[in-house]
Amino acid sequence: MTKYDTEYKHKLISAAEAAGMVKSGMWIDYGAICGFPSLIDEKLSERAAELKEVKIRAEHSHTIIPRIDPDQEHFIFNSWFLGKVDREYHKNGACSYIPFGLGEGPRMYREWLKDQVDITFIEVTPMDKNGNFNFGASITRQKAACEVAKTVVLEVNEHMPWVFGGHDEVVNLSQVNYIVENYEYKIPEFPAAVVTKEDEAIAALLAEQIVDGATIQLGVGAIPSVVGKLLIKHNFKDLGIHSEMFNDSMMELIEAGVVTGRKKTLNPGRAVHCFAAGSEKLYKFMDKNKALAGFPVDYTNDPYTIAKNEKQIAINSTLRIDLRGQVCSESVGTRQISGTGGQLEFTRGAYMAPGGKAFICLHSTREGKDGQPISNIVPTLELGDMVTVPASDVSYVVTEYGMVNLKARSVWQRAKALISIAHPSFRDELTTAACKAGFITKGTMGLGWE
């Protein structure tokens, strides 16, 4: 038995005891995504009746707390990024969104929240022989939260992969107050998105823009997943990965030998990321895999760091774009759907990289409540829509009908370009609206956009 084993046993408590430390009015911070403390969350929910105004911050969580307290009498739930679960809570008024860029996470804690975290609960790997716990599939900003929290409680899960990192991927036993062992819950899995013919058409256009030796970032959704499969099919060589998220399609690219990282200018040979979301197979693949490098999000998402990768490619999806090029990827009016995430940071970083390109992808239409199609290319964004990527940052936009580059284009050129890749049944309507808004003027009416 080592000195760490003795200290570990001294700090070991039950999940109920950990939840019992929460008092009314406290600020509680959960680990992000796969760092979500499922067992402690369950035990804390059982204490709802005896608590008042406990404020929780989480991200892409799986909590049951808002469901048992929809009126927020006992718990006030806040999310840095809404996943499927948080989204429904927000829709019902039981969750508030925290606007921020994902790469700001560590600074948020170390600077703005340094005196405002009473307890942090974070899911981690089992301890190693040096007394370290690894944040595994969710490095993000976890170390910063541990540094500022008045009380640090780790929930140990044997299913969490140990991810070799760059820095801040571990926390030492000496920096921890209490430990809970979780044998009841695995870390969450994220099912693959359903792929449509529109996704396949968009992915085919994107694949044409990638060259051997490029470094890629793939965002959330079906389109990035299909892109990964196409890159395997087209036998690309020596691609690299520098991304916020690591997912199943990236694992498949490494397994197929398409991603080697040999040509990367930054962290060659390593697939850089700050969190993972995918299948159990993915998490097992990540465990002590020397081809991966997990970093905190202020490294992975720093545009100036991203820009050090030659031929950096950023592929992200959006909900809507207006005719001036404003991108809304996170809300429908005032209803929050997800969050800013790292979309703006990677759009800027890839654009700054030598030979880099940033792509914003969307389906030309979506289905309305009446079953009829609605255009996702709109004259102007709706009242309440959050602008995720400003018009000045947008370059390539892709739908199933084509690809356009908005850089260095006037508003009339942008409007015409975007109308050209809108669904054909909406192009006349969009043109009329663009003329009415003054985006397309009398003198530019008959001109092509290029």
Q: Which structure tokens are listed for 317? A: 């999806």
pLDDT at 218 over 90: no
Same domain for 355 and 322: yes
User: What mean pLDDT is reported for the chain?
Assistant: 94
Least reliable range by pLDDT among 23-37, 64-78, 338-352, 395-409: 64-78
**Measured distance CA(391)–CA(399) in Å, rounded:** 17
CA–chain centroid gap for 301, Å, is 11
Same domain for 410 and 269: yes
Same domain for 269 and 146: no
Tell me what percent of the residues of the chain surpass a pLDDT of 70.
Answer: 100
Longest dimension (CA), the chain: 83
The three-state secondary structure class of 98 is coil
Same domain for 211 and 115: no
Average pLDDT of the segment spanning 270-282: 96
Q: Measuring CA to CA, which residue among 391, 377, 373 is closest to residue 422?
A: 377
> How many domains does one find in the chain?
2
Same domain for 427 and 392: yes
Domain edge (last residue) among 181, 210, 231: 181
* Number of H-type helices and E-type strands within the chain: 16, 26
pLDDT of res. 66: 87
In a domain? residue 186: no
Same domain for 321 and 263: yes
Average pLDDT of the segment spanning 297-305: 98
The residue written with tokens 């009329």 in the block is 432
pLDDT of res. 193: 80
pLDDT of res. 1: 65
Indicate which CATH number applies to the domain containing 222. 3.40.1080.20
Domain that holds residue 72: 3-181
Same domain for 211 and 121: no
Indicate which CATH number applies to the domain containing 172. 3.40.1080.10
In a domain? residue 158: yes
The residue written with tokens 């801040």 in the block is 168
**Measured distance CA(137)–CA(80) in Å, rounded:** 17
Strands (E), 33-160: 54-58, 75-79, 95-97, 119-124, 132-134, 151-156
pLDDT of res. 67: 86
**Measured distance CA(371)–CA(57) in Å, rounded:** 36
Give 19-75 pLDDT, tens digit per residue.
999 999 999 999 999 999 999 999 999 999 999 999 999 999 888 888 888 889 999
Same domain for 149 and 220: no
In a domain? residue 120: yes
Average pLDDT of the segment spanning 98-109: 95
Same domain for 205 and 177: no
In a domain? residue 190: no
The three-state secondary structure class of 320 is strand
In a domain? residue 157: yes
Least reliable range by pLDDT among 130-134, 218-222, 423-427: 218-222
pLDDT at 199 over 80: yes
| Residue 375 phi, psi (nearest 5) | -70, 135
Q: Mark 396-410 as b/e (b = at least 16 C-beta within 10 Å).
A: bbbbbbebbebeebe
Same domain for 382 and 295: yes
Residues marked active site are found at 244
Terminal C-alpha separation, the chain? 72
Count the Cβ atoms, other than its own, within 10 Å of residue 14.
Answer: 14
Same domain for 135 and 97: yes
**Measured distance CA(209)–CA(207) in Å, rounded:** 5
Same domain for 212 and 172: no
